[in-house]
């Protein structure tokens, strides 16, 4: 048995007590101990108006814009974010120069049929007093007299979108094409009007339809639209 003197035991107890007090002082009661704030970088997705799902809003927008007539999907423009979080000057300029629905007049040109296909130019004319631009696909929908859509949504035809600059009085056109239902055997209907929505706009223009029956379901009932091009016809 190892014998320890009383003074040695007192010194050991004193050292232990000091160590415990130091530990308690360092830890505190949890209220006075704070860690430095942690920061992280991230990119906020552009806000949407509900037309797209949150997942779609965070994706890179296409420059092939579309209109949004009833029953036709639309894609509103989204500014590309620069490094400082502000909209780039290029996208800001494009948005400010875009032709709005209220500045345009819509019409349907003469049919140019061929090989069982009906081909109508849908024309948008700048009726405002300023120069503006169009780019991409318009929206369109055939409707009956009560405004109900006839047939499926038009599909996008092939083509590379290009910006069309319209001075006051100038026009751009998009090709509206479908198979003649008398030839294809598709179920047909005769619309009362065609609703046309300019690219990247939400309001539509109503044009009286005088082009005869259109396919609404069944075989070869697809209707296609092309990107806008300068002029009033091919």
d(CA 186, CA 221): 6
The encoded tokens of residue 219 equal: 């075989």
- In this model, does residue 118 exceed pLDDT 90? yes
Q: Per-residue pLDDT tens for 124-153?
A: 999 999 999 999 999 999 999 999 999 998
- Hey, what are 183's tokens? 């030839």
Interatomic CA distance for residues 67 and 76, integer angstroms: 8
Q: What pLDDT does residue 219 have? A: 85
**Distances 17 to 9, 102, 121, 160 between C-alpha atoms, Å:** 12, 85, 94, 82
- pTM of the shown model: 0.64
Q: Which residues contact 5 (CB under 8 A, 6 or more apart)?
A: none
Q: What is the pLDDT of residues 145-183, one digit of tens each?
A: 999 999 998 999 988 999 999 999 999 999 999 999 999
pLDDT at 10 over 70: no
pLDDT in tens, 69-103: 444 433 332 222 223 334 455 556 666 799 999 99
What kind and span of H or E run contains 107?
strand 104-108
Q: Where are the domains of the chain?
A: 63-230
Q: Which of 128, 211, 198, 213 has the alpha carbon at shortest distance from 168?
A: 128
Kindly state the helix (H) or strand (E) to which residue 17 belongs, with its residue range.
helix 6-27
Q: Is the pLDDT of residue 44 over 50?
A: no
Alpha-carbon 204 to chain mean position = 17
SS3 15: helix
């Amino acid at each position: 048995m190892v014998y320890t003197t009383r003074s040695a035991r007192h010194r050991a107890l004193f050292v232990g007590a000091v160590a415990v007090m130091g530990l308690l002082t360092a830890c505190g009661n949890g209220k006075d101990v704070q860690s430095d704030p942690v920061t992280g970088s991230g990119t906020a997705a552009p806000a949407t108006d509900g037309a797209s799902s949150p997942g779609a809003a965070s994706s890179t927008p296409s420059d092939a814009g579309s209109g949004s007539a009833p029953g036709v999907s639309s894609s509103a423009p989204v500014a590309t974010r620069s490094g400082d979080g502000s909209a780039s000057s290029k996208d800001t300029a494009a948005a400010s120069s875009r032709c709005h629905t209220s500045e345009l007049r819509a019409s349907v040109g003469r049919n140019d049929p061929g090989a069982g296909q009906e081909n109508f130019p849908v024309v948008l004319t700048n009726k405002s007093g300023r120069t503006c631009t169009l780019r991409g696909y318009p929206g369109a929908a055939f409707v009956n007299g009560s405004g109900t859509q006839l047939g499926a949504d038009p599909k996008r035809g092939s083509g590379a979108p290009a910006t069309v600059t319209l001075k006051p009085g100038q026009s751009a056109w998009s090709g509206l094409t479908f198979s003649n239902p008398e030839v294809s055997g598709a179920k047909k209907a005769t619309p009362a009007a065609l609703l046309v929505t300019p690219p990247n706009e939400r309001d539509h223009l109503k044009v009286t339809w005088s082009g005869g029956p259109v396919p609404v379901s069944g075989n070869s009932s697809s209707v296609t639209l092309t990107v806008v091009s300068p002029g009033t016809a091919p």
